Structure 1
Amino acid sequence: MIPARKHRWFNAWFAAHARSRIQGTFGAVLARGLEATRARSAEAPLLLVVNHTSWWDPLVILHASQHLLEVDGYAMMAADNLRRLPFFALVGAFGVDLDQPSDGTAAIRYAARLLDRPGRAVWIFPQGQERPSDERPLGFRAGAAQVARVARRAAVVPVALRYELAGEERPRLYMAFGEPVAVPPAPRDRDIEAAREAQELAVTAELDRIHRALGKAAGAQGLPLDVDGFRWVHRASPSGVGQAAERLLAHWTRPRAPLTPRLPGGGRGDRS
């Protein structure tokens, strides 16, 4: 297992870089449940269980930790990726080799130790690799459920991420933070499996919530301020230069009505 080497100043700089990249790429960022999750973080550490769907996910969760939730965030990452991109350790990533059971056990204990106080958060992608956001079942592994069993003080919050082209120049980013996962009672030999199933169902429900909001947005010709609890976190202004260029091109290329030929006597063509 590779421990995190979080560095305060580098974390602040890289999180600002992530926010700049996100706001420069996405036309809008919309979130649901953000305020409730931020308030919950003041009362308990957060284990944030999230689907993995895009290259953008690490930058999004870093931005969410630093600027939206305002928590001391960490994340579990594949050890091979962390060796390839070691700077992520400086923003709270710790590496685990999923093919090594002893490594997984060490990472679970490490994550549980991090979740020792309010204001702390650990993000886990239980799918282990990128998957389409509409794939069902999501295919969660049991690691996050094992962390939840050890870190009893932590609130397990399901999070859904989706990136969507919405008839606009730039894509939109949707984030949905759900209510803490309540694990159903189960025999002791099935408690991990029950927790894993509960976490997967909770994240699936948040992805379905985003899907419904997209349907309402399509019917309303663009998403209003509040649809199913989603609110704007960031909204880019349309490009004035681009809009002016489009209007000018539309004017230049608009079909012109054909001129009526003049007759030799000064009149115009047959008007019958």
Structure 2
Amino acid sequence: MSDVGTAVTLRSDDDGAPSPTRHKRPWFLSLARGYARRAIARRFDGLFVDGLAEAARLVGQRPVLFCVNHVSWWDPFVLILLDEALGADSYALMDDVNLARLPFFRAVGALPIAVEGGAVARRQLDDAVRTLDRPERALWIFPQGRQRAAHLRPLGFKQGVRLIAARAQKAGAVIVPVALAFPWRQAPAPSVVVRFGAPVDPADTGGDELTAHVEARVAAMLDDIDAAIDRAGGDRSARGPGQALVAPRVENAEHGLGARLLGRLLTGPR
């Protein structure tokens, strides 16, 4: 969901069809990034990302289809910050019912997908894949099609992964599995943890096996996130897995006015 390529000026493709990028507004995306960063800093104990450098390198080389599990209402705001960190011009599929209710998401790169499927959904998939026409372009999808707690198994990925991958393969796009979790780290609020997996070439794993393969990769990374949090135990000062895009609260807690007053009350005057 980046402003790379000044997507606002793209109104139609070479064949005259309306461009799927036409609703994106870089100025609005910039505002959304600021809002997302502030909101996540207030509500969560940090945003940690593992595998970011490799994912960003890949985005610079070819178009990427990111397949991420869907946990909560906060997921789109996490994606907005990931897009900025990746240096990508990203788009994301969003069910048409919610997109009609929240049309401002179009301005940050949301594209509609019909919840009932059928011919309309297939046309929308074709439109979405047209965004993957160059390096630095990325398309995010939630293969579950609904919110589901990260610890529940199976994750329940639908065959949209296979359908989109078959279309994206012609553009040279690669699939990157992404795990998203909101674990608690002995803090007043959960953290946001993201892990990018190794790329999957649709040409190497095709057909019905592709969806199962991507789902298994995401599930394994979610298990790895849980294991990393468990190893940290009760040490809240331990950094989350990966790079911190939004600093954890503990880094600032010792220096805040409230913390200083509480310390004075507990220890008495010196």
* Residue number in structure 2 paired with 1:241: 257
RMSD, aligned α-carbons: 2.2
SS of 1:65 mapped into structure 2? helix
Q: 5 Å matches for 1:180-259?
A: 180-182=199-201, 191-218=206-233, 221-222=235-236, 224-225=238-239, 230-235=242-247, 236=249, 237-238=252-253, 240-250=256-266
2 CA distance for matches of 1:35 and 1:223?
A: 24
TM-score, scaled to structure 1: 0.83
SS of 1:161 mapped into structure 2? strand
2 CA distance for matches of 1:58 and 1:201?
A: 22
SS of 1:38 mapped into structure 2? helix
* Residue number in structure 2 paired with 1:151: 168
Identity of aligned residues (%): 34
Residue 142 of structure 1 contacts residue 192 of structure 1 at CA under 8 Å; is this kept in 2?
Answer: no
How far is 1:168 from its partner? Answer: 1.6
Instruction: Kindly provide the CA deviation profile for residues 103-161 of structure 1, in whole angstroms up to 9, marking residues without a partner as x.
Output: 22112211211111110111000111110000000000111221111111111001111
How far is 1:185 from its partner? Answer: 6.2
2 CA distance for matches of 1:101 and 1:192?
A: 19
2 CA distance for matches of 1:62 and 1:113?
A: 20
Instruction: Kindly provide the CA deviation profile for residues 60-86 of structure 1, in whole angstroms up to 9, marking residues without a partner as x.
Output: 1011112x1111010000000000000
SS of 2:80 mapped into structure 1? helix
Instruction: Choose 1 or 2 for highest CA Rg.
Output: 1
What amino acid sits opposite 2:177 in the alignment? P
2 CA distance for matches of 1:10 and 1:175?
A: 24
2 CA distance for matches of 1:183 and 1:3?
A: 23
Distance 1:168 1:185, change over 3 A: closer
2 CA distance for matches of 1:72 and 1:8?
A: 10
Structure 1 residue 111 corresponds to structure 2 residue 123:
no
2 CA distance for matches of 1:243 and 1:213?
A: 28
* Residue number in structure 2 paired with 1:76: 93
How far is 1:50 from its partner? Answer: 0.2
1 CA distance for matches of 2:237 and 2:162?
A: 35
Residue 158 of structure 1 contacts residue 179 of structure 1 at CA under 8 Å; is this kept in 2?
Answer: yes
Structure 1 residue 44 corresponds to structure 2 residue 56:
no
Structure 1 residue 126 corresponds to structure 2 residue 116:
no
How far is 1:244 from its partner? Answer: 2.5
* Residue number in structure 1 paired with 2:75: 57
Residue 145 of structure 1 contacts residue 195 of structure 1 at CA under 8 Å; is this kept in 2?
Answer: yes
Q: Gaps spanning 5+ residues in structure 2: where?
A: 1-18
1 CA distance for matches of 2:239 and 2:260?
A: 26
Q: Gaps spanning 5+ residues in structure 1: where?
A: 253-272
Residue 113 of structure 2 contacts residue 125 of structure 2 at CA under 8 Å; is this kept in 1?
Answer: no
Instruction: Kindly provide the CA deviation profile for residues 138-194 of structure 1, in whole angstroms up to 9, marking residues without a partner as x.
Output: 0001112211111111110011111122112332110100001255967xxxx4311
SS of 1:74 mapped into structure 2? strand
TM-score, scaled to structure 2: 0.83
How many pairs does the alignment contain?
Answer: 243
SS of 2:233 mapped into structure 1? helix
How far is 1:197 from its partner? Answer: 0.6
2 CA distance for matches of 1:19 and 1:46?
A: 24
Structure 1 residue 34 corresponds to structure 2 residue 49:
no
